[in-house]
Structure 1
Amino acid sequence: MDRRREPVGFGHIFRKISSKERIGAEMQGGELIYSVVGFVPACDFVDNAMLISNLGYLLAQKGLNTCIVDLKVFYPNLYQYLDVKPVKKADGLIKVLKSDKVDFREEIQATKYDKLYLLSPSPQDLMEEYYDFDFEHLERVIQTLKGMFDVVLLDIPNNPPLEFCLGAMKFCHIGFFTAAERIEATHHMVKLLDYASSVGISTAKFMSVILMNLMDIEFDYKVMRETGFNIVAALPLVKDATARAHEGKLYVKDNPLLNKHFMKELSRLAGQLAGQS
């Protein structure tokens, strides 16, 4: 069971990565202007689904109609984290991608949490069914969702040849890399942004990093700032958050023993995205 007490030595991690603010200047506006937000994993040992599901809940609790989109078309898992039934084969995301005549309201799943919704592929869909989609299909879906919801959170696969990776990076308003204390994380971020830039996709909106599952491993956090990235949040490893996810429960909801650092960082990020000071 998770405790409020921080792990030994954890406090100095925050001192090492802290600057005057751990929120980039591009997020300092006073109103909600970034309604489509993307998250891309930079390395192993991050859990985007856990991050996005809990963040989506906090945004919904602020009164924002929030839709989470699982773009991991080959291995969707957000339906498990939000405790909803997987959509049937050929329904959900692939159906709205294929035709502009489909009613989105029939393909978007309501979760058990007020104002929080999910658009997901079916785990039964075949991989080859997603090869023929291009940027225009994804742009239409994102633009439609933008008109329906206050906030759209995109779980983006780090798979550059896949249209759902670069297309989502292109059409979101702001993006975050999620990274752990792994030596390859910074290299992977630079490499993906170089490739995106080479095909005409703006990379300035993906210069913010959310550190996840920190365990006080010896790591040079300065290398990220030296390569132009802003560390905007730092989340410790919380075993109970993962355990609750396995049961389809959200860590930030109704948990009497919340890790104070995890909750503080995630709440601050939700507040910034919601345009609150």
Structure 2
Amino acid sequence: MDRKRRIGLDSIFQKISSKELVGAELQENSLIYSVVGFLPATDCTDNALLISNLAYLLSQKGLNTCVVDLKVFYPNLYQYLDAAPPKRGSGLLRLLKSDKVDFRDELIETKYERLYLLSPSQQDLMEEYFDFEFGHLERVIDTLKSMFDLVLIDIPNNPPLEFCLGAMKFCHIGFFTAAERMEAAVNMVKLLDFAQSVGISTAKFMSVVMMNLQNIEFDYKVMREMGFQIAAALPLVKEATVCAHDGRLYIKDSPIVNKYFKRDIQKLADRLADQ
């Protein structure tokens, strides 16, 4: 590991080595709900765009923030944060396989202060992720929770996969992300019913972030009737996608930011920072 990067991590995480966690005094977190999950309910959402820009805003508030990409088959958050992906077998996969691995060696330090990434490798084989259970994911999330002020998790909508239901189980609060699609409310209810049937609390996933809005006539009343609350509504912005393709953050690097996008993502950041 690069010495400068290791020193930077050490300066923030004095007690992180998983080999030394037993009996160590863990960092006290002033945030009650520090592990936040984002779960797509429909097509035409872009979790990586939302999470990367939101994580940057939170880090700028002085919060040590870790983004976790649980899309183990198709990780992409490293691209949005302009970071080099981990090599095959390292990153998330190595931490899941062993409780003896030092987290500092597997975290990716982004170019943004106080913002880190834990990602699978794009070169990992799919079958390498089939045998993990809830306990493996719980251990990783619990360690990250003790290390960071906030942990933002990109959850794949793949209910048979442990990384979907496990993340729903172990995060403190969650947000569905949805587009203006007629199946949005049905998909959310169906997934929550399944999660509840296997003993996972679903009350924490009753907030929705609407993504890529195009002013389509859409019946939001259905969501309200089913108990969902709209936490933020982000319009479709071409420049945001262009920035992502270039490895830039729209909320930071675009010379002109859509005022509605900025207002609602800032509102969401304030909500998470002030909880």
What's the secondary structure of 1:182's corresponding residue? coil
Q: Does 1:191 align with 2:190?
A: yes
Quote the Cα distance in structure 1 between the aligned partners of 2:70 and 2:125.
14
Instruction: Classify the secondary structure of the residue corresponding to 2:36.
Output: strand
1:112-261 → structure 2 map (5 Å cutoff): 112-261=111-260
In structure 1, what is the Cα distance between the partners aligned to 2:120 and 2:42? 23
Per-residue CA deviations over 1:169-228 (Å, capped at 9, x if unaligned) read: 000000000000001111110000000000000000000000010001111011000011
Cα distance in 1 for partners of 2:89, 2:216 equals 43
Deviation string 1:139-195 (CA, Å, 9 cap, x unpaired) is 000000000100000000000000000000000000000000001111110000000
Looking at structure 1, the residues matched to 217 and 62 of structure 2 have their Cα atoms a distance apart, in angstroms, of 40
Q: What do the CA deviations read for 1:97-143 (whole angstroms, capped 9, x no partner)?
A: 00000000000000000000000000000000000000000000000
| Residue number in structure 2 paired with 1:97 | 96
Which residue type is aligned with residue 215 of structure 1? Q
SS of residue matched to 2:250? coil
Q: Distance in 1 between matches of 2:253 and 2:162?
A: 38
Paired position in structure 2 for 1:25: none
- Give SS of 1:209's match: strand
| Structure showing greater relative contact order (alpha-carbon pairs closer than 8 Å, 6 or more residues apart) | 1
User: Using the alignment, how far apart are the partners of 2:253 and 2:72 within structure 1?
Assistant: 31
1:121 & 1:207 partners in 2: Cα distance? 28
Find the counterpart in structure 1 of residue 109 from structure 2: 110
Q: Distance in 1 between matches of 2:31 and 2:165?
A: 24
Provide the rounded CA distance (Å) in 1 between the counterparts of 2:269 and 2:180: 23
RMSD: 0.8
Q: Displacement, 1:33? A: 1.4
Structure 1 residue 254: Cα displacement:
3.2
Partners of 1:254 and 1:41 lie apart in 2 by 25
Q: What is the identity percentage for the equivalent residue pairs of Structure 1 and Structure 2?
A: 74
Shift in Å at residue 255 of structure 1?
Answer: 2.2
**Separation of aligned partners in 2, 1:93 and 1:178:** 23
Partners of 1:120 and 1:59 in 2: how far apart? 19
Q: How many equivalent pairs are there?
A: 246
SS in 1 for 2:32: coil
Where does the alignment leave 5 or more consecutive residues of structure 2 unmatched? 1-29
Pairwise CA distance, 1:50: 0.3
Q: TM-score, normalised by structure 1?
A: 0.88
| Over 2 Å off, 4+ runs | none
Cross-structure match for 1:84: 83
In 2, the alpha carbon distance for the partners of 1:246 and 1:67 equals 21
Distance in 2 (alpha carbons) for counterparts of 1:256 and 1:120: 29
* Separation (CA, whole Å) in 2 of partners of 1:77 and 1:222: 33
Alignment of 1:60-71 (within 5 A): 60-71=59-70
1: CA distance, partners of 2:252 / 2:84: 20
1:258 counterpart SS class: coil
d(CA) in 1 for partners of 2:263 and 2:216?
21
Q: Is the 8 A contact 2:36 2:171 kept in 1?
A: yes
Determine if contact 2:48/2:77 at 8 Å carries over to the other structure. Answer: yes
Q: Is the 8 A contact 2:239 2:254 kept in 1?
A: no
Matched residues in 2 for 1:193 and 1:55: separation? 25
Residue identity in the other structure for 1:206: F
2:243–2:254 CA contact under 8 A, matched in 1: no
* AA matched with 1:260: K
